[in-house]
Structure 1
């Protein structure tokens, strides 16, 4: 499975591509950072991010796109820009029929380092080690994008099993509800018929 990881942002948007193999084996395919100038208007900054994401998707044909979920940030303006950048990437993927998954920073850190509170240096070090890279990916946005892709490769089987289990549970509930409705309808019909026969007997 090929996964495109995206660490969304307006000033720097990290994009990383990895191939997931058997077990927990992952291989780096490509990594980079999309930059937009702060003095550019918001619409064009988002367009630049979207165009770059589309080029990556068309060039590498990922099976899934993993985007960091904006969990909480002290700077509301930064959080909004991050969410908007992630949104245009998700839209680009949806237009191509590519599944999109969102992972929180703590989920990514826990998957890659075993510690949901790991700092950026620890994440970068583990990404470098996991992928067997000779040089650590820089800046941190690039390493975070690869970490997102790795996280999804490792979490996807679990997420898929959970989704299937939830779907089966929902189907079972629907069948049970339908059976109850049929029983109520059948009971109502019998009661109605019994009342009519009693009236005729009288």
Structure 2
């Protein structure tokens, strides 16, 4: 195969947003083969003001973007239960600054519903955290399950971003 036939390398940053703990995972894809680059969490101080907490999230995500230069960000879509509207509002703050970090860095963001990510990874849209960790471990050929669960979720979101194509570009095509 000549170098002109090779598929370009895609680096996807998966993010599992949270106001206390935001999980992230950076994966390179050359064709269909994934390679884990880095995974971790961005934490905010639980007792700090909301302004301080979202600044910590923004700064942490921006540092990851600047260090790894992803080609696309895959971000978990906001999901909430009707009985917890406050949680949804707080999560919205976290997602907002994460999207801002991507926009300031010129990175396209693809949004994925948690049930869609679980379905892609396990075949079950209601998979448990443990099932998701095992699925990510298997998909990335890791020796142990990724921990904490926020990291496994972020890696699953990145994998989903790869398998479902160009994210929002795909959404634009399917909404026509």
- TM-score, scaled to structure 1: 0.77
Shift of 1:78: 1.9
Are 1:130 and 2:139 counterparts? yes
Across the aligned residues of Structure 1 and Structure 2, the Cα RMSD in angstroms comes to 1.7
Among 51, 59, 63, the alignment partner of 2:67 is 59
Q: Which runs of 5+ in 2 are unaligned?
A: 1-9
Specify the alignment match of 2:28 in structure 1: 19
Specify the alignment match of 1:178 in structure 2: none
Q: Which has the higher helix share?
A: 1
Q: 1:163 to 1:134 in 2, by over 3 A?
A: same
Among 135, 156, 159, the alignment partner of 1:150 is 159
- Whole-angstrom CA distance in 2 between matches of 1:54 and 1:47: 10
Matches within 5 A, 1:1-202: 1-23=10-32, 25-73=33-81, 74-156=83-165, 160=169, 163-164=172-173
Shift of 1:161: 5.2
Shift of 1:96: 1.3
**Partner SS state of residue 18, structure 2:** coil
Stretches (4+) displaced over 6 A = none
Larger Rg: 1
- Whole-angstrom CA distance in 2 between matches of 1:92 and 1:75: 27
The answer to whether the 8 A contact 2:110-2:167 is kept is: no
Specify the alignment match of 1:199 in structure 2: none
Specify the alignment match of 2:4 in structure 1: none
- Whole-angstrom CA distance in 2 between matches of 1:44 and 1:4: 24
Q: 1:152 to 1:105 in 2, by over 3 A?
A: same
Question: Number of residues paired by the alignment?
Answer: 166
Shift of 1:112: 1.0
